[in-house]
A = this chain, B = another copy of it.
Amino acid sequence: MMKINICACFLLWATLAQAQQKSKFTSYVNPFIGTGAVDKNSLSGSNFPGPTMPFGFVQISPDTQDNPDNPASGYDYNDKTIVGFSHTHLSGTGVADLFDVLFMPATGPILPVPGDANKPQSGYRSRFSHQDEAARPGYYQVKLQDYGINAELTATEHTGIHRYTFPKTGNGHVIIDMDHSLNKKRDYWSCKIIGAEIKVVDNKTVEGYRIITGWAKLRKVYFHAEFSQPIVSQTLFNGSQPFESINIINGTNIKAALNFNTTSNQQLLVKVALSPVSIDNARQNMKAELPGWNFDETVNKASSAWEKELSKIEIEGTQEQKQIFYTGMYHAFTQPNNMADVNGDYQATDMTIKNAPDKKHYSTFSLWDTYRAAHPLYTLIQPERTANFINSMMRQYDTYGYLPIWQLWGDENYCMIGNHAIPVIVDAALKGLKGFDLDKAYQAVKGSSNIDHPGSPFAVWEKYKYIPEDLQSQSVSITLEMAYDDWCVAQLAKKLGKNDDYEHFMQRSEFYQNLYDKQTGFFRAKNKNGDWIAPFNPLQYGGNGGNPYTEGNAWQYFWYVPQNIPGLIKLVGGNKAFTAKLDQFFSLKDLPGEVNGNASGFIGQYAHGNEPSHHVAYLYNYAQQPWKTQSYVAKVLNELYNNSSSGYSGNEDCGQMSSWYIFSAMGFYPVNPANGLYSIGSPVLKQAIIKLDNGKTFTVTTQNAAKANCYIQSLKLNGKPYTHTYLTHEDILRGGKLEFVMGSKPNYKWGTGNTSN
């Protein structure tokens, strides 16, 4: 007996250890981070808690709002009810879309409730409690209090699987809502359901689709669903009109209520495969990824996939740091999403179906955000997928004439400014990534810098050498960002020996100077006649049009010359004037009445909640005051990130907000995301080991890591004193060790050229 007990104990221990090993990294991921603002001074990250595979297509998650708008993820941690589980979501965006094919289990009557024309049944919303809710990579669970149903979700790349545990009731049912989308009146992005169908194929199979125009111009979403228990009857709804005796319904506002004989604790499993191409493809997707019914195995597979991705950086630090860091990686790898079916079919920009030979066609490119740090992170630890991303973006160039600006569901939506696929591609090219055609890539980045398109009037750019506000709104922001993209084109031209192009684009990259107003000391809008636009208030915010500044003000946009920071310093009058201006930036608290909704996480005028500020704390490095970089970077890391639902100081923005943390917490950040350099800040992690695709590792250690010790005392690279305020990409790729020694007081000599450490 004793012997057996020992054996059992060992087995138990071994199993636990194995499980622990299996969830070494995923155990730190808290999918609720970023799902809700905690007060009116904070913002939701617009993240969703439901399961997804890394870069997966199906991203199934609870929606707490009927017609989600804000947060764009459909889930607000502050809401008290859930309307169902839809299969596609955006993570961290400022704008909503998707929410396709909502499933909701319920009990009770399903017939229309008088006076509630848009709710065909009473069982369409349930209260829930965060006490009865759980989420981890690949798994979500919630108790639907109004129905006593426990709902669990997991996902493969194209398939969601639901496990509903019913209470003692005879009349459990599942609602399928094909009308669940953006706000009700459909005026948000002119959202309109063009057509939809639900078909009960047999008593265990339901198929259908919806064709919808919204933020993405045209999405076709097909599904194939299988149930583990027989459907005993169904009611299909066209609007609020119920039909009892039919098995197919077409319309623009259609729903189905499927009835099951449920008993106490009975589990109903539902598998729902999606395809942007056809029902046939949805069926194929399910067959390839989830032929069986093992929910727990599917959870384990998703968890293992995440474990593999998260293991690419192994860190030591506090529990909260690990939670923020790994949830950040989780959010960074939640998109771009592979829009190709398992057979490679995808919808091209011309709305035809094409086939990707590599079975990968990524979309959800929030490039204005992600080119800054998320793509450099992918380039570093997702080099193969980066090549896939680039090939996917180049397909838009092929059919659309220029690279993506903001691409959703394979479709350009022109959200934001700039052509920031260019830095992504150029960075990958300069870092020597394989898997895409370099000449074609150059053709694409050059072409996208010459063909006029919305927000990018290149003929005007070449003619005036700045963007005149009277010809193109958001002119200062576009001028600054376009100049940067031009610099990127020039670098690739140089690498490929295209010297004329190099010269030409380098000239264009200096056009930012033409909007510098010496008198006010800001980049300021001009009309096409060359006059400054007056009155001018550097605190005044612009939104997304009608103002020279994009989601920011002149203070925040002043710093955007990453291609030539010495040039910027010179413009303003040298290091002293530059750092004084930075000091003012980080301390000037006056906020005008109208702050852009994306601006939050303020330190003076610095707004970590939106991207224009993201590199600014690092700029002291370039003007001989690296200790101030260290101080502000540490302040942001320690104060503007946390492990709560309000863990980000603004929209998480498809991985950018997280990637800032991931880099900065390790001690460095790509201020110019395409020059192969990382500016050194203030590491907060005790240790970070980057495991590279080339088999090497780069280890960062931090002695005296603590909130109070934000200042670098000394630094060694591979055992040798290191006094540069930057690392090179080669330093990392080569593998090695970066050793920080931190302290509570600045070392004014380090990084200023005044000491060899």
Q: Per-position contact with B for A405-444: 1 when CB-CB < 8 Å, else 0?
A: 0000001100000000000000000000000000000000
Q: Chain B's nearest CB lies how many Å from the CB of A444?
A: 13
A717 at the interface (CB under 8 A from B): no
Question: Whose C-beta in chain B lies nearest to the C-beta of A402?
Answer: B248
Set B209, B211, B245: member contacting A452, Cβ < 8 A:
B245
A278 at the interface (CB under 8 A from B): yes
Q: Chain B's nearest CB lies how many Å from the CB of A195?
A: 5
Stretch from A98-106, A311-319, A349-357, A700-708 forming part of the interface with B: A349-357
A87 at the interface (CB under 8 A from B): no
Give every chain B residue within 8 A of A248 (Cβ-Cβ): 400-402, 451
Q: Chain B's nearest CB lies how many Å from the CB of A555?
A: 31
Q: Would you call B197 and A213 a contact (CB within 8 A)?
A: no
Set B197, B238, B412: member contacting A400, Cβ < 8 A:
B197
Q: Would you call B199 and A351 a contact (CB within 8 A)?
A: no
A506 at the interface (CB under 8 A from B): no
Interface residues of A in 192-208 (CB under 8 A from B): 192, 194-195, 197, 199
Q: Would you call B211 and A217 a contact (CB within 8 A)?
A: yes
Q: Would you call B453 and A250 a contact (CB within 8 A)?
A: yes
Q: Chain B's nearest CB lies how many Å from the CB of A405?
A: 11
Give every chain B residue within 8 A of A197 (Cβ-Cβ): 350, 400-401
Q: Main secondary structure on chain A at its contact with chain B?
A: mixed
Q: Would you call A352 and B277 a contact (CB within 8 A)?
A: yes
Question: Whose C-beta in chain B lies nearest to the C-beta of A199?
Answer: B401
How many Å lie between the Cα of A124 and that of B326 in the bound state? 60
Q: Would you call A412 and B352 a contact (CB within 8 A)?
A: no
Give every chain B residue within 8 A of A353 (Cβ-Cβ): 352-353
Q: Would you call B195 and A351 a contact (CB within 8 A)?
A: yes
Give every chain B residue within 8 A of A349 (Cβ-Cβ): 250
How many Å lie between the Cα of A270 and that of B250 in the bound state? 41
How many Å lie between the Cα of A353 and that of B354 in the bound state? 12
Q: Would you call B199 and A213 a contact (CB within 8 A)?
A: no
Q: Would you call B459 and A243 a contact (CB within 8 A)?
A: yes
A167 at the interface (CB under 8 A from B): no
How many Å lie between the Cα of A622 and that of B238 in the bound state? 43
Set B190, B199, B250, B351: member contacting A220, Cβ < 8 A:
B351
Q: Would you call A452 and B243 a contact (CB within 8 A)?
A: yes
A730 at the interface (CB under 8 A from B): no
Set B192, B247, B412: member contacting A250, Cβ < 8 A:
B412
A279 at the interface (CB under 8 A from B): yes
Q: Per-position contact with B for A337-367: 1 when CB-CB < 8 Å, else 0?
A: 0000000000001111100000000000000
Q: Would you call B454 and A238 a contact (CB within 8 A)?
A: yes
Q: Would you call A245 and B459 a contact (CB within 8 A)?
A: yes
How many Å lie between the Cα of A457 and that of B197 in the bound state? 18
Give every chain B residue within 8 A of A222 (Cβ-Cβ): 350
Q: Per-position contact with B for A544-574: 1 when CB-CB < 8 Å, else 0?
A: 0000000000000000000000000000000
How many Å lie between the Cα of A650 and that of B279 in the bound state? 43
Give every chain B residue within 8 A of A450 (Cβ-Cβ): 245
Q: Would you call B192 and A459 a contact (CB within 8 A)?
A: no
How many Å lie between the Cα of A197 and that of B278 in the bound state? 24
A39 at the interface (CB under 8 A from B): no
A588 at the interface (CB under 8 A from B): no
Q: Would you call A209 and B350 a contact (CB within 8 A)?
A: yes
A9 at the interface (CB under 8 A from B): no
Q: Would you call A195 and B220 a contact (CB within 8 A)?
A: no
A244 at the interface (CB under 8 A from B): yes
Question: Whose C-beta in chain B lies nearest to the C-beta of A244?
Answer: B459
Give every chain B residue within 8 A of A400 (Cβ-Cβ): 197, 248, 250
A192 touching B195 in the complex, CB below 8 Å, given contacts A251-B454, A350-B279? no
Q: Chain B's nearest CB lies how many Å from the CB of A41?
A: 39
A218 at the interface (CB under 8 A from B): yes
Set B217, B247, B280: member contacting A195, Cβ < 8 A:
B217
A117 at the interface (CB under 8 A from B): no
A-B contact pairs, 24 of them (CB 8 A): A194-B217, A194-B218, A195-B218, A195-B411, A211-B217, A213-B213, A222-B350, A245-B450, A245-B452, A245-B458, A246-B451, A246-B452, A246-B453, A247-B401, A247-B451, A249-B401, A250-B349, A250-B412, A250-B453, A277-B352, A278-B350, A278-B352, A279-B352, A353-B353
**Knowing that A244-B459, A353-B353 are A-B contacts, what are 10 other residue pairs whose CB atoms are under 8 Å apart, sorted by A's residue number?**
A192-B192, A195-B411, A197-B400, A245-B459, A246-B401, A247-B451, A248-B401, A249-B401, A250-B412, A352-B353
